[in-house]
Chains A and B, each alone.
Chain A
Amino acid sequence: MNRFLLKCFSLTLFFLIWVLLLPPRDASAVIDGISGNTFNLVAKEGHISTPDGGSVLLWGYAIGNGRVQYPGPTMIINEGDTITVTLRNELMQPVSILFPGQEDVQADGGIEGLITREALPTDDPGTPQDESTVTYTFTATHPGTYMYHSATFPELQVEMGLVGAIIVRPAGFNPNAPRAYNHPGTSYDREYLFLLTEMDPRIHETVEKFGVDALQGTDYLSNYFPNYWFINGRCAPDTMAQAFAPWLPTQPYNCLPRMHPGEKLLMRVIGGGRDLHPYHHHGNNSYIIARNGRMLESSPGMGPNLGMSVFTIKTIPGETVDAIFEWTGKDLGWDIYGTGPGFEHDCVDGNNDGFDDNTHEYCADHGKPLPVILPENQVLSFGDFYSGSPYLGKKGVLPPGAGTLNVYGGFFYMWHSHNEREMTNYDIFPGGMMTMLIIEAPGVPIP
């Protein structure tokens, strides 16, 4: 592989450190978005940037008069609430919003469209109603993870960026003991969003240079061939940069899951594009608790008893998956906090769950040395996320420049599309649909 590109990747990743050093926020705010009952969205044009230096034409949803963004704002709402979403159109063609998974959505204003009411680019002053604005109203009857997207010329408009996520909190949601659904089997410590999409840059270039009508002379929409892949609207390594990074003004959301050993991480995964993606999460299996905002239970009250354990989440277009990921370090056969001088520590299991009550160390492996000798540094290549030590929370001696992106000695795990072609940014590896999970040592602050 080209060493120059590798260096570019590293430089971009350097900004990752900023994320890690940001002050902790409220735990329930890990998924960035807007909450409430009333949302004002405006469809407008802009550009996103890709790590290969590309700039891609975007049609997206903006919050009111704010900047257009990809994906659209994540709407975080509560079960039982009546939600009003007003869409104003500043694009050059009609646009709308579809709310898959929501029931009895009422639409007012705009004009009649094929699937729902649509907002026109301009209001006709000769009529009493405002054709450029549509108001959608629905009651969020079920908790879960959902998406929304344009229902107007969707094979083009969703590709252009008119897509976003909706999270419905269960009734009686307690941010200090969060649950995805109304059952203790869905409780979690942290939650992260994984909205997976892709783009075929040929389509965006054609629309930008020659207009929408020029697509009719191509087979780009039917013979779809994407070359950018996104998590929450960013291609790796930008996925790992801070949220609301000033250099990514139209791509506010990041995706950098972090957790401590023994915690439960809720993955909210959305197939937001048109391809399937096998989303592989290194580190451990996860347990799927829901699909499309419906808990996988055999009858009401059973909890997610029809779920299953997977190491790759099959992400299907238009489908959402909620899965609970845990990593405990159990049964590795060696002490992940190290042995010998400099690594002194106890393992105290007062509650008899097999793990230290504070550090969550697996006590049966306490004091067992690493079973192999690691080679000399001279014969190894080092990753930017390697701490220099095999032990959690520890740092070791690394060659100059290596391991610069591991601030706290955490264990990093790649979470990526296992269609490895999708780990590129238009012919450049690495990139695309990829990020890292960080298992941080106990005591390391996580926002």
Chain B
Amino acid sequence: MIRINRLFVLGVLLGILLTWVNPCVSEVFVQCPGDLNGDAIPDPYLPGGAPNPEYRANVKCMHLAAGDGYITMADGTPMYIFSFADLTGVPPDQAIEKGMLAATFPAPTIVADEGDEFYLTLTNVGMMVRPDLFDPHTVHWHGFPNAASIFDGVPDASVAINMGSSFTYYYKVVEPGTFMYHCHVEATEHMQMGMLGNLYVRPAQNKLPDGTNLNGFTHHTGYHYVYNDGDGSTYYDVEYPIQIGSFDPEFHIANETVQPLPFAYMKDKYPMLNGRGYPDTINPDPLPPPPANINRGVHSQNITSLIEANHGQKILLRISNLNVTRFYTLGTVGIAMKVVGKDSRLLKGQNGEKLYYDTFSVTLGGGESTDVILDTSQVSPGTYFLYTTNLNYLNNNNEEFGGMMTEIVVK
């Protein structure tokens, strides 16, 4: 309870600071063409019912808060984090209040379609538990092709948004694939603290007219592909983003308690998939909020890693790694992975040859991604495992069994 009182006091202090720092210019400012009320949702119609002339069907918007919060580790330990919260749909005058302490891990998943114009507004809501910090934040769309430095989110090479204000990133989305995103401010700290999320782009091939012949493969409305493969070879039925991550509890505690940060001795002890250790990974629902109302009751771990498919379906796993300390290998037992993509590109050679291959393990360092397809028609119904073959990371800190593992259920 002491913590909540402290939080309350600090929150009030921060609120004062936010208005005091820059009373004239600091404000939430959502830029989203066609959006009439600042909630980052484009409105096709004007209030009277007439079509909105500003509305464009390929414009997508999102509003993210950057701030702090809490999650619960698989061994029950609450963990202080920095991350993003989804403010899309929230009126701008409520955005700061809604975004405070609402950080989720992983950060809200960004999904775009090839051909979108994507407007991403980032509002820095400040760190409630660390009101002594005035850290700016950014969004780095990791792997964005031909990025311009102004929207690349590297604070050294461009700008970062200060507390209480908003910056809107613009991305013309022309490459499908599995990317990832994270804050790039003081990257070692902000990334270890959790400002990491899934991001992927679906290909234009999904939207071909029904019956289109793709080199012998007939496309039908509703079919999905990982890339514009030209032959249906990356067709899948169900998809799951799987983000590898890991936390060093000492670092998070030091940050929470305003101690010097142990960069030199950083050692990750909570290996995770999508922000959870096993068995939390297979909980299909958002995890309950951390205990004692520590983050005002926010559901902060919303992405399951339970992989489910009906027998015969093809499962796409969009695997990315955003831990900051080491390489991890993910393996499967009993069901092969067909690797069809790497680092947001179809796995093909310079002359277009497909270089897909079957495997039972993929190794990724931080900042790498891969796309693998699991064909359940080749196996019997049942439960299979996706787990790190670095077996020493099958634990949740001192809890001996858990960590970087989840289940693939073929029904």
* Complex-state Cα separation, A280 to B344, whole angstroms: 13
Contacts A1-B135, A278-B366 given; does A331 touch B174 at CB 8 Å: yes
- Provide the residues of chain A in CB contact with B368, threshold 8 Å: 278, 310, 312, 314, 418
1/0 per position for B341-373, CB-CB distance to A under 8 A? 011110111110101000000011111100000
**Assuming A285-B145, A384-B156, A419-B326, what are 19 further A-B pairs, CB within 8 angstroms?**
A276-B365, A278-B365, A280-B366, A302-B351, A308-B342, A332-B146, A332-B148, A372-B119, A375-B159, A379-B26, A383-B155, A412-B149, A412-B157, A418-B365, A419-B324, A421-B325, A423-B187, A429-B187, A429-B189
| A274 at interface by CB-CB < 8 Å | no
Report yes or no: B266 in contact with A421, Cβ–Cβ below 8 A: yes
Report yes or no: B365 in contact with A378, Cβ–Cβ below 8 A: no
Contacts A285-B344, A305-B351 given; does A371 touch B117 at CB 8 Å: yes
* Closest Cβ neighbor of B365 among chain A residues: A278
Interface residues of B toward A: which range?
35 or more
Report yes or no: B365 in contact with A303, Cβ–Cβ below 8 A: no
A-contacting residues, B125-166, CB 8 Å: 135-136, 140, 142-143, 145-150, 152, 154-162, 164-166
* Complex-state Cα separation, A357 to B324, whole angstroms: 42
Contacts A375-B165, A390-B148 given; does A420 touch B174 at CB 8 Å: no
Report yes or no: A305 in contact with B159, Cβ–Cβ below 8 A: no
Whole-angstrom distance between the Cβ of A429 and the nearest chain B Cβ: 5
A-B contact pairs, 30 of them (CB 8 A): A1-B189, A278-B366, A285-B344, A303-B350, A304-B349, A305-B353, A307-B350, A308-B345, A308-B349, A308-B355, A311-B143, A332-B172, A333-B117, A371-B119, A375-B159, A375-B165, A380-B136, A381-B159, A383-B157, A383-B158, A384-B156, A385-B156, A414-B154, A414-B157, A418-B365, A419-B326, A421-B192, A427-B262, A430-B186, A430-B188
- Provide the residues of chain B in CB contact with A372, threshold 8 Å: 31, 119, 168-170
Could you say which of B161, B347, B351 has the most chain A C-beta atoms within 10 Å of its C-beta? B351
Report yes or no: B161 in contact with A380, Cβ–Cβ below 8 A: yes
Report yes or no: A427 in contact with B158, Cβ–Cβ below 8 A: no
Cβ 8 A contact of B146, one of A277, A309, A329, A429 = A329
| B213 at interface by CB-CB < 8 Å | no
Contacts A278-B365, A278-B367, A421-B325 given; does A412 touch B154 at CB 8 Å: yes
* Closest Cβ neighbor of A280 among chain B residues: B367
Report yes or no: A385 in contact with B143, Cβ–Cβ below 8 A: no
Cβ 8 A contact of B142, one of A276, A280, A420 = A280
| B391 at interface by CB-CB < 8 Å | no
- Provide the residues of chain A in CB contact with B348, threshold 8 Å: 308
1/0 per position for B30-45, CB-CB distance to A under 8 A? 0101000000000000
* Complex-state Cα separation, A418 to B321, whole angstroms: 10
Whole-angstrom distance between the Cβ of B344 and the nearest chain A Cβ: 7
| B263 at interface by CB-CB < 8 Å | yes
1/0 per position for A381-397, CB-CB distance to B under 8 A? 11111100010000000
| B16 at interface by CB-CB < 8 Å | no
* Complex-state Cα separation, A169 to B192, whole angstroms: 42
- Provide the residues of chain B in CB contact with A378, threshold 8 Å: 22, 24-26
| B167 at interface by CB-CB < 8 Å | yes
Cβ 8 A contact of A311, one of B142, B154, B167 = B142
Binding site for A on B (CB under 8 A): 22, 24-26, 29, 31, 33, 117, 119, 135-136, 140, 142-143, 145-150, 152, 154-162, 164-170, 172, 174, 184, 186-189, 191-192, 262-264, 266, 321, 324-327, 342-345, 347-351, 353, 355, 363-368
Report yes or no: B117 in contact with A418, Cβ–Cβ below 8 A: no
Report yes or no: A379 in contact with B353, Cβ–Cβ below 8 A: no
Whole-angstrom distance between the Cβ of B114 and the nearest chain A Cβ: 11
Report yes or no: B366 in contact with A418, Cβ–Cβ below 8 A: yes
* Complex-state Cα separation, A210 to B196, whole angstroms: 44
| A248 at interface by CB-CB < 8 Å | no
* Complex-state Cα separation, A304 to B172, whole angstroms: 30
**How many residue pairs, one in A and one in B, have C-beta atoms under 8 Å apart?**
219
Report yes or no: B159 in contact with A284, Cβ–Cβ below 8 A: no
B-contacting residues, A282-306, CB 8 Å: 282-285, 287, 298, 302-306
Could you say which of B150, B161, B165, B186 has the most chain A C-beta atoms within 10 Å of its C-beta? B150
Cβ 8 A contact of B327, one of A276, A308, A330, A413 = A276
| A185 at interface by CB-CB < 8 Å | yes
| A61 at interface by CB-CB < 8 Å | no
- Provide the residues of chain B in CB contact with A428, threshold 8 Å: 263
Binding site for B on A (CB under 8 A): 1, 185, 227, 276-278, 280, 282-285, 287, 298, 302-312, 314, 327-334, 336, 370-376, 378-386, 390, 411-414, 418-421, 423-424, 426-430, 436
Report yes or no: B170 in contact with A334, Cβ–Cβ below 8 A: yes
Report yes or no: A421 in contact with B188, Cβ–Cβ below 8 A: yes
Contacts A277-B365, A314-B368, A375-B166 given; does A283 touch B325 at CB 8 Å: no
Cβ 8 A contact of B191, one of A284, A314, A327, A420 = A420
User: What are the 9 tightest A-B residue pairs by CB atom distance, in nearest-first order?
Assistant: A278-B365, A418-B367, A333-B172, A379-B165, A390-B150, A412-B157, A420-B324, A427-B264, A418-B366
Report yes or no: A429 in contact with B186, Cβ–Cβ below 8 A: yes
Report yes or no: B345 in contact with A413, Cβ–Cβ below 8 A: no
Whole-angstrom distance between the Cβ of B74 and the nearest chain A Cβ: 23
* Complex-state Cα separation, A334 to B186, whole angstroms: 29
* Closest Cβ neighbor of A418 among chain B residues: B367
Whole-angstrom distance between the Cβ of B156 and the nearest chain A Cβ: 4
* Complex-state Cα separation, A428 to B156, whole angstroms: 16
* Complex-state Cα separation, A258 to B119, whole angstroms: 30
Report yes or no: A424 in contact with B263, Cβ–Cβ below 8 A: yes
